[in-house]
Structures are given as structure tokens and as C-alpha cells.
Structure 1
Amino acid sequence: MFACAQTETLLTIKSSGDQTVSRHIYGHFSEHLGRCIYDGFWVDENSTIPNKGRIRLDVVEALKKIKVPNLRWPGGCFADEYHWRDGIGPRDQRPKMVNTNWGGVIEDNSFGTHEFLDLCKMLDCEPYIAGNVGSGTVEEMAKWVEYLNFDGVSPMTAIRKQNGMDKPWKVSFWGVGNESWGCGGNMTADYYSDLYRRYATYARDYAGAPLKRIASGANAEDYNWTETCMKNIGPGRMWGLTLHYYTLPTGNWKSKGSATKFDEEQYFNTMKNCLRMEEIVSKHAAIMDKYDPKKRVALVVDEWGIWTDVEPGTNPGFLYQQNSLRDALIAGTTLNIFNNHSDRVKMANLAQTINVLQALILTEKDKMLLTPTYHVFDLYKLHMDAKYLPINFASPDYKLGDKKIAALNVSASQDSTGAVHISLVNLDPKNKISLNTDLGNLKWKTVTGQILTSAQLTDINTFAVSNKVVNAKFSGAKKSGNMLKVELPAKSIVVLELK
């Protein structure tokens, strides 16, 4: 155990204008990759695991609890090799294919458009579909939109009705390709932005179903990609522009580091890499501001999270990794960054929901566990669609040798009832932080809270012990006159509610 020293800092929180923390910042991502869909959401036809139409019910209930606002599908890299007509109609007649991106396994297309939209209905979330630009055609995407959204007479609506869906789903969120700079076609920014305009033209708005078209944006620090898309596509032709950034513990794609076996130096480097999201989002947003000062185009961070080496003995193409307290600290920190940039970041998607990368849920046959990251989303759901409250503070340093990073990150919001919610993350594994908080003219009488922490940064939930890292009641906050005083433990995430 670490000995706890203490540092002090002052927070100032003020009421703001009409900026809202969009619920869509808390979105998720489920790709045909490893065991995310198959053995995750989707069980075998004769499975004894409780399911509805092969959709696993314990998973659905867990995700409903955290109010998942949207779900992105079918990829990822898989989206640009996915041909949607292979995944409709009688399942025994659907063609099989090889998933060339992820493990070279056979994809039987049993989980397709109807199954995904059934899942979204069960979750009460909005679907976010990524269309195939890399290996598809304009006609293919246009007809998928028609199949999903048109309520008139046409060949696509006739096929939809034959397949059991009389009325359209009216899907709004529509991605025009994925990672077009890489696995989605290795395109240049100029070529993609021209191609986007063509595809987006034929992805029609049907009555009662206007599309929120989302362009495939930059990888991490590729600011030229954002500049080119904003200049060539323009604010009027897209609802959103994506950004992908993954936290690598080592910063090296070839040897990323273990999910569970790391020392404090690797933890420090991981959190330093996580905090780069602040700079990356800020710089992309500044470029967008130049072409779109009214902030009509959303920055959509639709792939983010920690990416480690896979668990030993698992298929390297399945990207299965465990999930520790470190990952929870990454989730809390990243969501605070998005909340604080909610004037531009209107949507985000953690990669990925089940059994892949920074998953919320891990499954093993009939067993299911909730990861530390899941519990962060459970804590932070109070920010969804709430009024953003700006915060001023100077963070104490978390020091390791001659290196240092900010130990503290925070975001705050006020919901429709007037309750104020403050999410606090202390990245320092040794030292607690004493906070004095001035809430200005915000009125409140009581404070309650929850905390997520554990004895070690490497602590995980397992199928044998599934509740080692879970949320607990927090009693380290109190009212002192007009001030809020908080004792924030080392390596912890705390969410406070002031009423």
C-alpha cells in the first residue's frame, strides 16, 4: 500500500450559459471483432443463456442501467468490408465471408441489420451505422439508407417488408466510411473529402428521417485531415467529423504493454498518453472553429480507450484484454475532457462494448462480469444532457522522478432538477488531494457521493471475484459555510451530487 500525503487546491465552479453535455458523449462501439458480437451480444441458436431472439438478456440489462445513448456498428475496419445485403433475409440463406481484418475467422452474417436494430430497440438507444466506402459503392450505401428509412413504395421497402419490418427504423446517425486514411481505403484527405461529398449526396433524407451524416475524420494528431475535410466538405454537408485516439501504455503499437502487469513507471506513461486527448481535441476543435465558428459540426470521437497487448493465450486478432483500475482512471479522465469540450464534442464511442479492448463487459459462456470501466459510466451517467458548468482550478502535480503530469481532472454539470454533479479524478497513486470548492451563486444544501477505487492500480474484476473494483458510498465531502470541502483519495474517481 502507498502512504498517503496530501496536497490542497481550490476549485471554482460557476453557472454558465446554455452549453449542454450531450448524452451521446457516452456512446459505445460494437464491431464484428473477436467476441464482441458473437459470444458477446449474440448467443448460439440453442444456447441456454437467457436471451430474446439470441440477444443476451443479462448484457442488455447491464447496458440499460448505464443508459447507453447510442451504439456504433458494424465497425471499425469491418465496416468497409461489410456488404449489408449479406446480413438480411433468412439466416440459413445468408452467405458466409472471411473477416480479413480480425483473425481471419468465418463471419456467418447471422447478426445483421435487423438483429442490430432489434438490439438497439432493446437497449432503448440510437443506432449509429457506419457505411461501407472502402469496398462498397454509392448505390449500395444509398439503398441501405432507403431500406432503413423510406416509408414509401420502392424495391428496398418491399424487401424490408418481406423480411418482417413493415415500417422504417428511421436511423439518423450515419457514418460515411471509417478510418478512410487507413484500413478504410488508405486514402488521402483530398480524395476522401471528394468521395464523401458524392456518397453523402446519395444518402438521402427521407420524410421524418433526416440523416446526421458523419465524415470519417482524423487519426490522432493528423490535423491536416481535419483541415482538408473542413475546407473541402464544409459545415453544411456534415453533421459530424470523427477523431480516433487510443491510449497506448508504451506508446508503441508493436509492444503496447500488459493490461494487468505494469509498474508505476508504465502507469505514469499511460496516464501521460491518456491526457494527450486534451491537446488533441483542443487542436482539432481550433481548426474546426476556423471554418465553423458557429460550431454546427460535431467532433465525434467515435473510437477511444486504452489498447494493450491481448491476454496471453488468446487470439491476437480478437483484441481481448482485461480491465483494471488504471482503465477506470482513463475512462473518467477522458470523459471529463469530453464534458469540458462539450461545445464541440457532441458524440463519442468507447472501444468496445464487450470482450474487446477497453470493454464494459466480459463474458465467458454463461458468466458475465462488469469491468471497472463499466462502473465509471454508471457514475458519470448523471452528466447526460445536463447543463455544463465551467471549473477553474490549478491541479497539483503527480510526480515520478523528474517527470510530472496533472494529478487532478474535473468536470461538472447541473441537471434539469437543479442538482449539481461534479466528477473528480485523482491520478496520483500515492497522495490524496484536499479540495476547497467555491460554487459561487449555485444553491445547494446537501452533498452525497460515490467512489471507485481499489488497493492496487492493477486490481481487476474476474469471473471468480467479480466485485473487487466497484462503486461504493463516498463520505469524504462536506458543506462548510458556502464552501464544499472534499478529501479525494489517491487513485480514485469520485462523483458528487449537490442538492
Structure 2
Amino acid sequence: MLLCLVVLTTFTLKAQVNVLEIDAVGGKTQINKNIYGQFAEHLGRCIYDGIWVGKDSPIPNVNGYRKDLLEALQALKVPVLRWPGGCFADTYHWKNGIGPLADRPKIKNVFWGGTVEDNSFGTNEFLNLCEMLGCDPYISANVGSGTVGEMVDWIEYMTSDDDVPMVQLRKKNGREKPWNVKFIGIGNESWGCGGDMTPEFYSDLMRQYSNYAKMYGGDKFQRIGCGSNGGDFNWTKVLMEKGRNNMDGLSLHYYTIAGEGWNNKSAATGFGEDLYFSGLKKALYMDELVSKHSAIMDQYDKDKRVDLLVDEWGIWTDVELGTNPGHLFQQNSMRDALIASSTLDIMNKHSDRVKMANIAQVVNVLQAMILTKGDKMILTPTYQVFKMYNVHQDATLLPSNLICEPYKLGNDQIPAISSSASVDKNGKIHVSISNLNPSKEIKLEINLSGKGFAKINSGTILTAAAVNTVNTFEKPETIVPTAFKNAKKLTDNKLEVSIPGKSLVVLELE
């Protein structure tokens, strides 16, 4: 268990018990590195001004890509990047975004603020970016307003080495060899912006598109079916019942809305403890969602052949004052960091079924890793969480059981601690622990069974003065990881950790 079992007793205890039991030798499931995936949509300033500034920009760049952003994402070890959307994907016609820049037609982004884009960032630019980052590309095909033929042409352009027109076109555009595309999404949010479809209609359409994707792409990539909007469990049931043999993965989208709902969201800054607590509680709902969708998938796929991909998630707040409402630009606080860490713990916990997750989004949109302003750049608290969690990528999940006190607010409560434990290929054990209580230091006893450890190699902590603290362009390093010293080895199998309120700690044991 990664989210703790809250201790509730009717008798008096000498002290509240907070214990994390870790089976150091019982790990069987690999935490797929793609759980730490990213998402880049043509939305606001994510692509243009975020990733891409063009070769003639005064902002330092590498062939048009922001240099500082490239370096930051390389340090983050991004494993997979999803593109071009999102809602944008089902209006995107890929042939408009290839060839000489001067010949590419402009396009109006009808979903996100009506911005007119010049298509200077297209297929070649995205796939070359993935190669520069060393990550796998995840392409979302246009099912909403596209055709099967358009998708097949795109697959050939990207992945084929045959002597056919689309390959000749790719070579004409300066790319000799095919790219290594690993994932093709068959539409996006087909229940909503991707076509307003019923699950029955979409499942038939998915089978058609998926059949041709297989025919022209073979086993070069996984075919990802469009999955549920949050708790729409019937959508998953229909897709698994009718389409499980035509897809290799099924997606799930869920956004944390702190506050009363979509029309009354939390601000990204200046919020109080009520909206901090609300955000965490709604983020923790991801555990119930993944559990229930996985249970439905298990009914039709007990061998877990079809992966679950949470390919859009994160906190969605009101936009920053003075910015385009359709551009979804929001600040990023310590609350966001703890939403990220506790959500990643949930994904790790379910890594037998969850094989990818893509936080929304990589730069300047929603719960971004990076914010830019002219030639300035901020690494957000969420970026720091993902960097600290690099140690779990492709590591073996260690079974664990966590008993902890609750974090209470009014008449409501959530577990005060969230955690993950894994062992890497070199035998080093990493334990990540989040204290969600904003005002109380918690002492946690960690017990390892089956194997002892010789020393605590390192400890890192991420915390802030307040839950609504942010990094700004004037003070970009207000929230950064620092060395953590409050871990004490008690025996070869036991240590004690004192975790400050509103903080994330990562330990390495050897």
C-alpha cells in the first residue's frame, strides 16, 4: 500500500504510530519509466514560446528549440512525450505541418483561445525533439475530423522504410531514416472534444482505425484506445468488451479540481488551507479511479495484456490574471508538488496495470514542469518532484504497508503520509515519503524485512514556507530540493525519519 491505512482507535495510545513496513526482497513488478511521462499540446504557450522559438529568435536556441528548456528536460529524463494533443489532435491535419516553413498554411486553434498558428512546429520538429531528449514519441491520431487514410499516410511517413510516396516525401523533407514511434493514440477524448461519441460508436471506429494502424505499422508501436473521462466506468466496460483485441492500451483522463467544480475552481496562488486540503483529497481519488477501471479491465483481460495509460492528469486551476483564459497558464505551488508526489505514488502502486502516465503539461500550461517569460525560465515545484522521483523509473516496486495518522481539516480527513519504495538494478533502495499535513512534523518508523541496509546514502527534501508558495521569475529558486538530515538508522533493518509538514523526502539506502 502506498496511501496509508489511517489509525483510528477508541483507546489512548502513548504516541501516534506511523510505520512503513517494506518487503525488501518481495518485489515482482517493474515501475514502468513511462509513468513519469509528459504531455505537449498545441495549447497556449506550450509549443510556441515554450518549446519552440524558431531559429531566428534572440532567445538562445538549438535549431529553434529553447536551449534552456532542452537542458532542463534532458535533466528530467523524460521517458515519453505525448503530442499534438489533447483536443487539438482531432483538428490537426499533419500534412499542413511538414515541408518548407514558408509553404505551411496557418491554422486557427479553435479549442484554445482562437490563436492562429503558423505550423512551424510539426511532425519533423516533434520527432526530432524526442530524439534530442532521448524519449519515446506518443502520437495522437486525428479520429474526430480526420480519416483512416490520413492516419495511414502519417504512419508511413513516420515509421516506414519502404519505397512508397510518404517515405519519399519524408526524405524530400530531409529525413532519411524512419523515426522510432512507440505509441499511436486512436483519437483523444472521443466522448467529448474528440467527437462527442458514445462508447459503442467509438469502439467500432477504434477497431477500424486500429486495424489499419496494425496493417501499416505492424508491431512497431502500441495502439492506444481512447478511454474514460474520470469515473465513466461504463466507457471502460464497453471498450474492453468490444475492442480489447484491437488495442494494446486504454487511456484514462482525470484532473484535480480544487474547489467546488469546473466553474468555481481554486486559484493557483493565494489559496488557503481549505483549497489545499480539497486539492489533495481530490488528487487521492485517483487511487479509487485506477482501482475500479483496473477491476473492469481484469474481467476481460486477467493476464493484463492491455495496459492502462493515465495520459492526462494534474491539477487544473484558474488561469493567472491578465492571461488568455484559453491558454490555461497557471502558477505552480507547493500544493502542486504534493499533488504530484502523491499521484505518482498511486501510479507506482498500480504499476502492474498502469504502464504510462502523462502529466498536463510540460511547459506553460496547467501543472507545468517549466514556465517561461521571454528569455527567463522557472523550474516549478512539480518539476522538482519529477526529478526527485527519477530513481523509481524502471525500478522494482517493493511491497509496502503504511500505517499513519490522519490529516484532519474540519470534519474531513485524509492520510497524512503517502509513499513509494523501490529497488534499482544496482540494489539501492529508494523510499519517497510525502507529509501532507501542512503544519505538523511527523516521525515515521521504516522497517525493512528480508534484507538489511548498511547505510543511508543520501536524503533530499522539497518543502516551502507555505502551501501556496511558488517560484517566480524574480525568485526562481524559492522551492528547490535540499539535503535532508533527519533520518536516523536505528538497526540494520530499521530507521526513523522526521518529516516536516508539507514536504517530500526521498531517501537512498544501501
TM-score with structure 2 length normalisation?
A: 0.95
Kindly tell me the number of residue pairs found equivalent between the two proteins: 493
State the match for 2:158 in structure 1. Answer: 148
Q: 1:318 to 1:271 in 2, by over 3 A?
A: same
Q: Distance in 2 between matches of 1:380 and 1:440?
A: 23
Q: Distance in 2 between matches of 1:207 and 1:469?
A: 45
Question: After superposition, where does 1:344-493 map in structure 2 within 5 Å?
Answer: 344-447=353-456, 448-481=458-491, 482-493=493-504
Q: Distance in 2 between matches of 1:360 and 1:408?
A: 23
From 90, 96, 108, the counterpart of 2:106: 96
From 211, 224, 239, the counterpart of 1:214: 224
Q: Secondary structure at the match of 1:8?
A: coil
- Larger deviation, residues 147-156 vs 76-85: 147-156
**Deviation of the 1:434 alpha carbon:** 1.1
- Larger deviation, residues 273-282 vs 10-19: 10-19
Could you list the runs of 5+ residues in structure 1 that have no partner in the other structure?
1-5
From 292, 302, 311, the counterpart of 1:283: 292
Q: Secondary structure at the match of 1:120?
A: helix
State the match for 1:242 in structure 2. Answer: 251
**Deviation of the 1:44 alpha carbon:** 3.8
Q: Secondary structure at the match of 2:442?
A: strand
CA contact (8 A) 2:44 2:328 kept: yes
Deviations 1:412-452 (A, max 9, x none): 10000000001111110111211111100123111121000
State the match for 2:143 in structure 1. Answer: 133
CA contact (8 A) 1:452 1:469 kept: yes
Q: CA RMSD in A?
A: 1.2
State the match for 2:272 in structure 1. Answer: 263
Q: Secondary structure at the match of 1:203?
A: helix
Mapped pair 1:23 → 2:33: yes
- Which one-letter code corresponds to 2:92 in the other structure? Y
Q: Distance in 2 between matches of 1:251 and 1:140?
A: 41
CA contact (8 A) 2:17 2:403 kept: no
CA contact (8 A) 2:55 2:62 kept: no
**Deviation of the 1:374 alpha carbon:** 0.3
**Deviation of the 1:204 alpha carbon:** 3.3
Q: Distance in 1 between matches of 2:69 and 2:219?
A: 29
Deviations 1:62-94 (A, max 9, x none): 011110001000000000000000000111001
**Deviation of the 1:18 alpha carbon:** 2.6
Mapped pair 1:202 → 2:212: yes
Q: Distance in 1 between matches of 2:417 and 2:215?
A: 44
Q: Distance in 2 between matches of 1:7 and 1:353?
A: 39
State the match for 2:5 in structure 1. Answer: none
Q: Distance in 1 between matches of 2:498 and 2:441?
A: 7
**Deviation of the 1:16 alpha carbon:** 2.3
Deviations 1:362-397 (A, max 9, x none): 000100110000000010000000011011122210
- Which one-letter code corresponds to 1:459 in the other structure? T
- Larger deviation, residues 73-82 vs 163-172: 163-172
Identity across aligned pairs (percent)?
A: 55
**Deviation of the 1:486 alpha carbon:** 0.8
Deviations 1:11-49 (A, max 9, x none): 110032431000000000000000000000100442122
Mapped pair 1:497 → 2:494: no
CA contact (8 A) 1:149 1:206 kept: no
Q: Distance in 2 between matches of 1:39 and 1:211?
A: 30
**Deviation of the 1:254 alpha carbon:** 1.1
From 113, 118, 123, the counterpart of 1:108: 118
Q: 1:25 to 1:205 in 2, by over 3 A?
A: farther
Q: Distance in 1 between matches of 2:326 and 2:230?
A: 22
Q: Secondary structure at the match of 2:70?
A: helix
Q: 1:158 to 1:467 in 2, by over 3 A?
A: same
Q: 1:185 to 1:41 in 2, by over 3 A?
A: same
- Which one-letter code corresponds to 2:307 in the other structure? A
State the match for 1:224 in structure 2. Answer: 234
State the match for 2:335 in structure 1. Answer: 326
Q: Secondary structure at the match of 1:13?
A: strand
State the match for 2:184 in structure 1. Answer: 174
Q: Distance in 2 between matches of 1:17 and 1:497?
A: 17
State the match for 1:3 in structure 2. Answer: none
Q: 1:335 to 1:98 in 2, by over 3 A?
A: same
**Deviation of the 1:208 alpha carbon:** 8.2
Q: Distance in 2 between matches of 1:432 and 1:221?
A: 34
Could you list the runs of 5+ residues in structure 2 that have no partner in the other structure?
1-14
Q: Distance in 2 between matches of 1:187 and 1:321?
A: 30
